[in-house]
Amino acid sequence: MRPTRVRVLLLVAVVATLVSFALQRTLRSGGHDMPPVPWTASIGLALVACLVYSAALPVRRMLRGGPGARPVHPLRAARAAVLGKATAYAGAVVLGWYLAQVLLLAPDLDVDARQTQAVRAAVTALAALAASVAGLLAERMCRVPPEGPDGAGGVTGPDLGRAGDDVTGEARRHD
């Protein structure tokens, strides 16, 4: 899996903003109200950001070999990296959606209801940005250094045991 590039995430956010702006503007000009922005959206995105980041912390500890580092199953590390990548992209798309709402509401900020909705959309956009950054960091924390030609590199964490051992250091049974 290739690491996510910040440039690509920025492009996704810009395209999502443009598409969302066009869609919401079309709906608004057709007489439809703007979609509501609940506070739970920003709270949920902030929670996702925290959970994704915390899912990658054990992998980071194991790779760095710091105090209290315990072996992590490779599948768990891969899942944390994929979760980080998915969260980074999802955060960029959600950022575009709510940023488009802020842009559409900007001319009507003198109306209290529109101002409240714009503030909610801006806070939710910031939470989406936080989720995207947390996903990007989580993906980066799960990256294992490549092995060199002499076998150096790879996992630099605690000794994971002999070749027949699994990542917990226990010998596998070969029945």
pLDDT tens digits for 47-79? Answer: 999 999 999 988 888 887 767 777 778 888 889
Distances in Å between the Cα of 60 and the Cα atoms of 41, 76, 78, 83, 129 are 29, 12, 12, 15, 22
- Reported confidence tier of residue 164, pLDDT bands at 50, 70, 90: very low
- Reported confidence tier of residue 145, pLDDT bands at 50, 70, 90: low
- Reported confidence tier of residue 146, pLDDT bands at 50, 70, 90: low
- Reported confidence tier of residue 157, pLDDT bands at 50, 70, 90: very low
pLDDT of 85 higher than 70: yes
What CA dihedral angle connects 95, 91, 122 and 120, to 10 degrees?
A: 120
Out of 54-68, 101-115, 149-163, the most confident range is 101-115
* Domain boundaries of the chain, sorted by first residue: 6-30+38-141
Q: What pTM did the predictor assign? A: 0.78
CB atoms within 10 A of CB 125: 26
Please tell me which residue, 134 or 165, carries the higher pLDDT value: 134
Compute the mean pLDDT over every residue in the chain, rounded to the nearest whole number: 83
Q: Average of pLDDT values for 91-115?
A: 93
Q: What per-residue confidence (pLDDT) applies to 160?
A: 43
Residue pair 33/117 in contact by the 8 Å Cβ criterion: no
Q: Average of pLDDT values for 18-27?
A: 94
Please tell me which residue, 149 or 131, carries the higher pLDDT value: 131
Q: Is 124 left (phi over 0), alpha (psi -120 to 50) or beta?
A: alpha
CA 44 to chain centre: 13
Q: Average of pLDDT values for 148-169?
A: 45
